[in-house]
């Protein structure tokens, strides 16, 4: 699976990596979970067909079906990637990233649908795919 993500995710990831490299153990754990979740997505041969403990559909989604990718339980840390799979079955778009949902609780999911829709709409406007998830020519 080929991964894409917005600049805002890239900036968050860079900050997190800098914090981890400066010795912040919590940031290091969060960064490792994000990297593992991204590796999980890269290894997929197609979008998930059913929920498992790692990928689950986001019930608070709005216009686009998005999935959340998570890691096994770790006390005090809950990293989530919110991902959209265009109909091009070899692409995953990371729409949102919860650096630490454990501290945010359900507040993260309260706005996940609208925030993911905005990022997916931006992705579509930039010409990667049309609103049906088909490659734009």
Spatial distance between the Cα atoms of 13 and 20, rounded to a whole number of angstroms: 10
Per residue in 43-99, pLDDT (tens digit) is: 999 999 999 999 998 887 778 888 999 888 888 888 889 899 998 768 998 887 665
pTM of the prediction?
0.78
Cα dihedral 72, 50, 89, 115, rounded to 10, equals -60
Q: What is the predicted pLDDT for the residue at 100?
A: 56
Spatial distance between the Cα atoms of 40 and 63, rounded to a whole number of angstroms: 25
> What average pLDDT does this structure show over 122-128?
76
| Boundaries of every domain in the chain | 2-125
């Amino acid at each position: 699976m080929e991964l894409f993500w917005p600049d805002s995710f890239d900036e968050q990831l860079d900050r997190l990596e800098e914090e981890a490299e400066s010795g912040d153990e919590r940031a290091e754990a969060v960064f490792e979970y994000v990297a593992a979740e991204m590796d999980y997505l890269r290894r997929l041969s197609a979008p998930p067909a059913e929920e498992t403990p790692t990928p689950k559909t986001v019930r608070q989604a709005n216009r686009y079906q998005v999935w959340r990718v998570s890691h096994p339980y770790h006390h005090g840390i809950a990293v989530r990637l919110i991902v959209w799979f265009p109909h091009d079955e070899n692409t995953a778009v990371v729409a949102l990233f919860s650096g630490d949902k454990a501290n945010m609780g359900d507040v993260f999911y309260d706005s996940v649908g609208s925030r993911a829709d905005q990022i997916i709409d931006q992705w579509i406007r930039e010409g990667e795919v049309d609103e049906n998830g088909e490659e734009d020519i």
